[in-house]
């Protein structure tokens, strides 16, 4: 008989007042008792709707069944058949629109906390040291460009098949968006470095400081003896609004702000890299990146942080949990509000942001109701810092230095469902193909590209 508890087993969490001033992880993770209790809420539906909601089709009821009987290693084995980064995905997947959205328990109450259970299983696994056996080399080599979720996954899959894999990372630390973008309090960097250490143990070579397209090109890699190249360079190019005042001091792209804080560790005392400790902050946008930036600003000591978003609460693209956490920590939300100008002082430092109120009109191409300006509703919000979190697009560097690589008009690399591009031996996946999306989709793309690369090399 399943546990008919209506709500999810509560997640132990740092209290909002405390965590709003530190960079430690917000949620502390289930205990064994919590996990078993939550696992017993699963109804084990015959048609397994949750699995259809998972972009990589993890056998969710199967791993939950193992958790319910306390076989956490068994649960890990089930998950790792489909996912390479469960400790990451358990924390950052938008479960409420994926697996948990389909959970039957969600109809009358809260769905099973699938993400929380996934995280528990992965963390349990990572607590112990596991010996990683180096696979038998198959004599073939592949280059992976980018060490974010898609690149890491592709590299891991190929290495397990016996390929000699070299990962080329542009920055000085591997991990891509997992290290420069997602803050410590949401995804501890130790989790990412463990994944990277595991790859190294598999024999994967990781070369940092390698901006492919500048230091070497994709064609150089192929000429240097790599039989295939996988491009997982993500979507790192920031967008701005093209409104007056965006060049004022105190206006940052979320990428810049988060890179300073996360990758460069500017939040730590004595860090060499500066970051503005603003007092009154506006963050423009409503996605996870906007929430991350807002919550970092708060932790750096801001008196007030306001999310400015042109659509409504329902349309906020961020994970529900991040929105809730941000609110609990004291982030203010100005929804249906759009900036029209950033106002600087005589030294060109931000003094205020002028906004206009919006109302929702007819649905647009994305199916969401299009926000329309309310005439005469302009107002000024006094701030000394504006962070633009408007989404990102793929970096054009690879495209502009690789002949014959087809891209979409908006910059995404054209690739089929296996990651094959217009160039033979060149595969791509993740945000570089789809535009900014989720870690799990990128991971899935890295995985299917690895299979396709294997097939390509075998049939050569």
Output 405 or 450, the one with its CB closest to other proteins.
Answer: 405
DSSP state of 336: S
Output 22 or 208, the one with its CB closest to other proteins.
Answer: 208
Nearest approach, Cβ of residue 237 and other proteins (Å): 6
Rounded CA-CA distance 96/103 in Å is 10
Rounded CA-CA distance 26/91 in Å is 11
Question: In this structure, what token pair is assigned to residue 112?
Answer: 């099973």
Whose structure tokens read 């495209």? 399
Nearest approach, Cβ of residue 251 and other proteins (Å): 9
Nearest approach, Cβ of residue 380 and other proteins (Å): 21
Question: In this structure, what token pair is assigned to residue 19?
Answer: 């965590």
Question: In this structure, what token pair is assigned to residue 117?
Answer: 């259970």
Q: Which has the closest alpha carbon to 87: 59, 122, 112, 55?
A: 122
What are the backbone dihedrals phi and psi of residue 336, each rounded to the nearest 5 degrees, phi first?
50, 45
Interaction site with other proteins (CB under 8 A)? 170-172, 180, 208-211, 214-216, 236-238, 240, 242, 246-247, 249, 252-253, 255-256, 259-260, 264-265, 271-274, 347-348, 395-397
Output 5 or 393, the one with its CB closest to other proteins.
Answer: 393
Question: In this structure, what token pair is assigned to residue 459?
Answer: 């049939």
Nearest approach, Cβ of residue 448 and other proteins (Å): 26
Output 128 or 172, the one with its CB closest to other proteins.
Answer: 172
Output 95 or 166, the one with its CB closest to other proteins.
Answer: 166
Output 293 or 336, the one with its CB closest to other proteins.
Answer: 293
Residues in the chain: 460
Output 30 or 180, the one with its CB closest to other proteins.
Answer: 180
CB 182, CB 254: distance < 8 Å: no
Nearest approach, Cβ of residue 153 and other proteins (Å): 21
Q: How does strand 426-428 pair with strand 332-334?
A: unpaired
Q: Across-strand partners of 427?
A: 230, 420
Nearest approach, Cβ of residue 190 and other proteins (Å): 16
Q: Which has the closest alpha carbon to 389: 280, 271, 268, 296?
A: 296
Nearest approach, Cβ of residue 236 and other proteins (Å): 4
CB 88, CB 187: distance < 8 Å: yes
């Amino acid at each position: 008989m399943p546990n008919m508890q209506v709500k999810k087993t509560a997640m132990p969490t740092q209290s909002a007042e405390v965590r709003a001033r530190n960079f430690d992880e917000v949620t502390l993770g289930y205990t064994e008792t919590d996990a078993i209790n939550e696992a017993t809420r699963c109804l084990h539906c015959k048609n397994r709707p949750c699995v259809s909601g998972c972009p990589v089709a993890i056998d969710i009821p199967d791993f939950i069944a193992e958790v319910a009987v306390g076989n956490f290693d068994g649960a890990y084995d089930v998950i790792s058949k489909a996912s390479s980064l469960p400790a990451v995905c358990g924390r950052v997947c938008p479960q409420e629109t994926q697996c948990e959205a389909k959970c039957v328990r969600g109809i009358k109450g809260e769905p099973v906390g699938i993400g929380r259970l996934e995280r528990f299983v992965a963390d349990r696994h990572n607590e112990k040291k596991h010996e990683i056996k180096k696979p038998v080399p198959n004599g073939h080599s592949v280059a992976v460009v980018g060490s974010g979720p898609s690149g890491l996954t592709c590299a891991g899959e190929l290495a397990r098949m016996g390929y000699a894999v070299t990962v080329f990372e542009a920055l000085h630390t591997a991990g891509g968006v997992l290290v420069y973008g997602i803050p410590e309090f949401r995804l501890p960097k130790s989790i990412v470095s463990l994944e990277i250490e595991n790859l190294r143990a598999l024999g994967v070579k990781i070369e940092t400081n390698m901006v492919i397209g500048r230091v070497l090109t994709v064609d150089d890699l192929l000429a240097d003896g790599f039989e295939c190249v996988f491009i997982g360079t993500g979507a790192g190019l920031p967008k701005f609004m093209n409104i007056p005042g965006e060049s004022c001091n105190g206006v940052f792209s979320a990428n810049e702000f988060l890179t300073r804080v996360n990758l460069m560790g500017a939040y730590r005392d004595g860090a060499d890299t500066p970051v503005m400790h603003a007092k009154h902050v506006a963050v423009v946008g409503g996605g996870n990146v906007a929430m991350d930036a807002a919550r970092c600003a708060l932790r750096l000591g801001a008196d007030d942080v306001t999310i400015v978003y042109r659509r409504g609460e329902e349309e906020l693209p961020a994970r529900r949990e991040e929105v809730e956490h941000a609110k609990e920590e004291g982030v203010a939300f100005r929804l249906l509000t759009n900036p029209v100008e950033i106002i600087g002082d005589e030294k060109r430092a931000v003094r205020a942001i002028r906004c206009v109120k919006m109302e929702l009109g007819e649905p647009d191409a994305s199916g969401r109701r299009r926000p329309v300006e309310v005439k005469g509703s302009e107002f000024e919000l006094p701030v000394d810092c504006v962070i633009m979190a408007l989404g990102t697009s793929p970096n054009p560097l690879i495209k502009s230095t690789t002949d014959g690589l087809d891209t979409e008009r908006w910059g995404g690399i054209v690739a089929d469902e296996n990651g094959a591009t217009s160039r033979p031996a060149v595969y791509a996946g993740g945000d570089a193909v789809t535009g900014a999306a989720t870690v799990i989709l990128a991971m899935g793309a890295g995985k299917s590209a690895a299979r396709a690369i294997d097939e390509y090399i075998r049939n050569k």
